[in-house]
Amino acid sequence: MEALVIHAPGDLRIEDVPTPQMGPQQLLVRVRCGGICGSDLHYYQHGGFGTVRIQQPMILGHEVAGVIESVGGDVTGFSVGQRAAITPSRPCGLCRYCQQGLQNHCLDMQYYGSAMRMPHVQGAFRQQIVVNPAQVHLLADGVSDAEGALAEPLSVALHAVRRAGPLVGKNVLVTGSGPIGALLVIAARRAGATHITVTDVAEAPLRTALKVGADETLNVGQDAQALARYEADKGFFDVLFEASGNERALAGAFAVLRPRGVIVQVGLGGGPMNLPVNTIVAKEFDLRGAFRFHEEFATAVALLNKRLVDVKPLISATLPYRDASRAFALAADRSRAMKVVLDFD
Ligand code: ZN
């Protein structure tokens, strides 16, 4: 079978790799769709992000859906031909954090397509993959494989929303309108937010934010003062989801966030940020991180299956995996693409 292997920045190869061997407690899945994520792009463009660098060839990808091709003898509840979204989250289940239900902080996490550890964890941009039953979340008829592939980034958004606390009746600001920002709009609305403003420095991603239900979008690239109207009376927004990883976006929101506001930092920045900490003190902000997810994957698939969320407006294009270079170039162009999906069929 073939897989998409990153060797160095810009050096992404389609390679023959051995078909993985399935154990009696596992399933073999034929991958049909894979979404290109920002982290895949970082590996492709820069060889990594922050201190994380590719040090050995690695199969990319962690947002996939496919069809069950074979079921291990000890596995019950699944059958050949069923379609499923596959969670890339593989915590050990044994460490202290897993035992406390904090699987996203697992001490031995084997998250697909991640160079955070050595040897790197191989990813899911491949024609076949062996998975554990806990990773398999069946898709309802009518939910496409591409939508199923978006269960992973939707899970990230759901986890961030959970970190924010109750959103019923809240005014929400989302800074950064990439795929995660747009999915945060969907997830925050589902959780009861009554007003959602989205900012970005580019026009095309803001159009997607409107399509998925934002009340308002503001281009802070064209007008740096676009948020100023919300500064009155110590601020308007109850919750900020910062999805750009940009210091100016985060610090720039402080003036429009009301006292005791909650900041959920979802975007990963390129390095240290300078923040007006005195404002955090004086306005009593809660500054929280949100990293990956675990149980939210099942929620994401349930929401997709019940048609309670619509992620289709995010899907910009579906390209054959053999056109990976073109697909990655497209995914990197924010004026043309939100989420680019690879077709492995
Ligand atoms: Zn663990």
Number of domains the chain is built from: 2
Q: How far apart are CA 14 and CA 258, in angstroms?
A: 50
Distance (Å) from CA 103 to ligand 1 centroid: 6
Distance in Å, CA 102 to ligand 1 centroid: 8
Ion ligand 1 neighbours, Cβ < 5 Å: 91-92, 95, 98, 106
pLDDT tens-digit map of 133-170: 999 999 999 999 999 999 999 999 999 999 999 999 99
Are 179 and 233 contained in the same domain?
A: yes
In a domain, 301, yes or no: no
pLDDT for residue 19? 87
Query: Do 24 and 57 fall into the same domain?
Result: yes
How close is the Cα of 293 to the center of ligand 1, in Å? 13
Task: Measure 247 CA to ligand 1 centroid, in angstroms.
Answer: 32
Q: Is 186 domain-assigned? A: yes
Half-sphere exposure in the Cβ direction for 195 (13 Å, CA): 10
Residue 297 in any domain: the answer is no
DSSP H or E run through 185: helix 179-190
Residue 307, classified by CB atoms within 10 Å of its CB into exposed (0-12), middle (13-18) or buried (19+), is exposed
Burial of 88 from C-beta contacts in 10 A (0-12 / 13-18 / 19+): buried
- Does residue 9 lie within any of the structural domains? yes
pTM over 0.85: yes
Instruction: Give the separation between CA 111 and CA 108, rounded to whole angstroms.
Output: 9
Are both 140 and 10 inside the same structural domain?
yes
CATH number of the CATH domain containing 109 = 3.90.180.10
110 alpha carbon to ligand 1 midpoint, in Å? 9
Which DSSP string corresponds to 79-95? -TT-EEEE------S-S
Is 173 found in the same domain as 95? no
The rounded Å distance from CA 89 to ligand 1 centre is 11
Same-domain status, 249 and 320? no
Q: How many residues does this entry show for the chain?
A: 345
205 and 321, same structural domain? no
In 3-state terms, what secondary structure has residue 328? Answer: helix
Q: State the pLDDT at residue 49.
A: 82
Burial status of residue 81 (CB atoms within 10 A of its CB: 0-12, 13-18, 19 or more): exposed
Cα–Cα distance measured from residue 253 to residue 273, given in angstroms and rounded to the nearest whole number:
14
The pLDDT value given to residue 342: 98
Domain contains 333: yes
- Segment (H or E) for 202: none
Mean pLDDT per 10-residue interval, the chain, length 345 residues: 95 93 96 95 90 93 98 98 97 97 96 92 96 98 98 98 98 97 98 98 97 98 96 98 95 97 92 92 98 97 98 97 96 95 95
Query: What's the pLDDT score for residue 119?
Result: 94
Contacts of 215 (CB under 8 A, 6+ apart): 195, 196, 197
Going from the Cα of 104 to the center of ligand 1, the distance in angstroms, rounded, reads 8
Q: Which domain range does residue 223 map to? A: 156-289
Q: Does 194 lie in the same domain as 130?
A: no
Res 107: pLDDT: 96
Write out the two tokens for 1: 């079978």
Q: Do 44 and 100 have their domain in common?
A: yes
CA of 294 to the centre of ligand 1 (A): 12
131 and 40 in one domain? yes
Q: Output the pLDDT for position 268.
A: 87
Distance 94 CA to ligand 1 centre (A): 5
Same domain for 221 and 187, yes or no, is yes
**Cross-strand bridge partners of residue 155:** none
CATH number for the domain spanning 258: value is 3.40.50.720
Q: Is residue 189 part of a domain?
A: yes
Q: Are residues 123 and 191 in the same domain?
A: no
How many A from CA of 291 to the centre of ligand 1?
A: 15
User: How many angstroms does the Cα of residue 161 sit away from the middle of ligand 1?
Assistant: 23
pLDDT at 324: 95
Cα 109 to averaged position of ligand 1 atoms, centre (Å): 6
Q: Which two three-digit tokens encode residue 196?
A: 């959602």
Instruction: Report the separation in Å between the CA atom of 99 and the middle of ligand 1, taken as the mean of its atom positions.
Output: 7
